[in-house]
Chains A and B, each alone.
Chain A
Amino acid sequence: MYQAPAVSARRYFLDGLAQGELRYQFDPVSGKAVFFPREVAPSGRLGGLEWRVSKGRGVIYSFTEVFRRDEMYNVVLVDLDEGFRVMSTIPGAQPRSLRIGQAVQAGFDVCAGEQRLVFEVLS
């Protein structure tokens, strides 16, 4: 019977965030990056996924600005150069300044006590 790993893929990813690393998985069979972190490759095979660290460079794939009563914040989808997509936010963005295709760079901030991935627009 398959033995589940001692450290879950998600925990390994979270540990990476805490250390300022954007870790992702790579499937050598398909030759493609895999995100979100998981235990089974999309090919259906157990294990077989390699861990890598992203350089954090990407482009905005889409975005929306959310209007709440007293605040406005953005949610973005970023396509990393390594070939995977993440949801994130660009804390420093001016309202109505975001555009699909803008180049961005990953960073980290702390939200609700946990380190999370964020981005900034490269000028």
Chain B
Amino acid sequence: MSGLPALAPDSSPLDAMAMACAEALADCHLGKDDIDGVFAAGLQLFMPTLSLCEYLDLHPRYTDSTQIGGGAFLAQLNHAQAAIAAGLCEVALVAYGSTQRSAAKQFSSHSETNPYEDPYRFPGPAGGYALMAHRHMHEFGTTRVQMAEVAVSARKWAQLNPLAPDRSALTIDDVLDARPVCSPFTVRDCCLVTDGGGAVIVASAKRARQYKDRAVYILGAGEAVSHRSVSQMPDLATTVARESAMRAFSQSGLRPGDVDVAQLYDAFTIMPIMFAEDLGFCGKGEGGAFLAGGRSAPGGDFPMNTSGGGLSFGHPGMFGIYTIIESVQQLRGECGARQVENAHVGLAHAPGGYMSSQSTVIFGTASAL
């Protein structure tokens, strides 16, 4: 417990949450490093598990931020015991914090306040990934042309997708000469802004047996958490996608070379470059060259973001569901003109926040089981 009935002025709900966590740790004699599952909910924080993990330097392999109102923690306890029974984590922290009284009732929103970033008019996702792009260019020599090629390849896949909104030709010069947004990005380095929705239904293999001709199997999955805000990202040129991918590949018994088709979340052109490296498809620092020369475009030997991606298919704010849907459709052979031949293993990867969280899922057809 912490801080009832009111913390000192200017405290954050994280302070309340962290103080309670510290008490709980002291009480149970487990070390902070024993925690490998984090569950949290609150009304003032947009991504409470990420914020808590950043504050306490936690890097769990399993998280859950179910928000169903005041009873969330009981549901989270249910989820924690199921995760522990499934071997997905061993020691779970369940936490809550609020400064509702002293902060005069702030509500969480996509623009949750960060007093250490707001005075600088930090422009959200485009600003954060631009900071990463400059760092990646500095550390590894990644070029603007390599980043532009990611956008050009995405558009080539979109040209094969009847649902893509813009199927006009896109060249490297079109990307470089487009309106600047946050250096080094132009508007063509950034995803489309669209509405959208997506849903998938998951069942046991046994339950899905009657649909086996259309069933796509989850072969492995992995998660990782690094930080919450870009100012707290330990290394802006390297992500913990390496850890989520290792967990997914390990669970599936597969390796990067086994992947036939990849969906690597592309809200900004630097992202597939960093993911190609951190997921193990190429060496660190080689992502720009690896994706260049049409390797990830239709006909290349690393088919990537085959719907056209966030860059040329659509991006309603959270793109991850589409990485799943496109993986499934490719493995079912339903993709028409953009179908990748002989696709039996698909990989979907998505970050959250500012490379704050990483999630990887590997899919397979029945023949891949």
* A residues at B contact (CB < 8 Å): 1-2, 4-11, 14, 36, 38-40, 42-46, 61-67, 73, 75, 77, 85-89, 100-101, 111-112, 114, 116
Contacts and interface: CB of A to CB of B under 8 A. Distances in A.
Contact of A87 (B7, B184, B231): B231
Contacts of A89: 120
B21 interface: yes
A75 to B, nearest CB: 5
B18 interface: yes
Contacts of B32: 43-44
A40 B12 contact: no
B22 A75 contact: no
B15 interface: yes
Nearest to B15: A39
29 contacts: A1-B1, A4-B3, A4-B7, A4-B8, A8-B11, A10-B11, A11-B8, A36-B231, A38-B55, A39-B18, A40-B22, A42-B55, A44-B25, A46-B26, A62-B131, A62-B135, A63-B131, A64-B130, A66-B121, A66-B123, A66-B127, A75-B121, A75-B122, A85-B231, A85-B232, A89-B120, A100-B138, A101-B138, A111-B119
A8 B138 CA distance: 38
B131 A42 contact: no
Contacts of B21: 40, 44
B177 interface: no
A8 B7 CA distance: 8
A65 B182 contact: yes
A42 B57 contact: yes
Given A1-B1, A4-B8, A39-B18, 13 more contacts: A2-B19, A4-B2, A11-B10, A36-B116, A38-B18, A62-B132, A62-B135, A66-B127, A85-B231, A87-B116, A87-B117, A87-B120, A88-B120
Contacts, number: 128
A9 B15 contact: yes
Contact of A63 (B12, B31, B134, B180): B134
A61 B115 contact: no
Contacts of B301: none
> Ordered nearest first, which 5 A-B pairs have the shortest CB separation?
A44-B32, A42-B57, A64-B130, A40-B18, A8-B8
A9 B11 CA distance: 7
Contacts of B253: none
A86 B3 contact: no
Interface in B1-43: 1-3, 7-12, 14-15, 18-19, 21-23, 25-26, 31-32
B236 A10 contact: no
B250 interface: no
Contacts of B2: 2, 4
Interface of B: 1-3, 7-12, 14-15, 18-19, 21-23, 25-26, 31-32, 55-57, 115-117, 119-123, 127, 130-132, 134-135, 138, 179-184, 230-232, 236
B357 to A, nearest CB: 18
A60 to B, nearest CB: 10
Contact of A38 (B15, B23, B135, B183): B15
B55 to A, nearest CB: 6
Contact of A61 (B57, B130, B184, B236): B236
A67 B56 CA distance: 35
Nearest to B32: A44
Contacts of A40: 15, 18-19, 21-22, 55-56
A4 to B, nearest CB: 4
A39 B231 contact: no
Nearest to A87: B231
A75 B7 CA distance: 32
A116 B117 CA distance: 10
Nearest to A114: B119
A8 B131 contact: no
Nearest to B115: A10
Contacts of B232: 36, 85
Nearest to A63: B134
B292 to A, nearest CB: 23
Contacts of A65: 180, 182-183
B7 to A, nearest CB: 5
A64 B189 CA distance: 14
B10 A14 contact: yes
B237 to A, nearest CB: 9
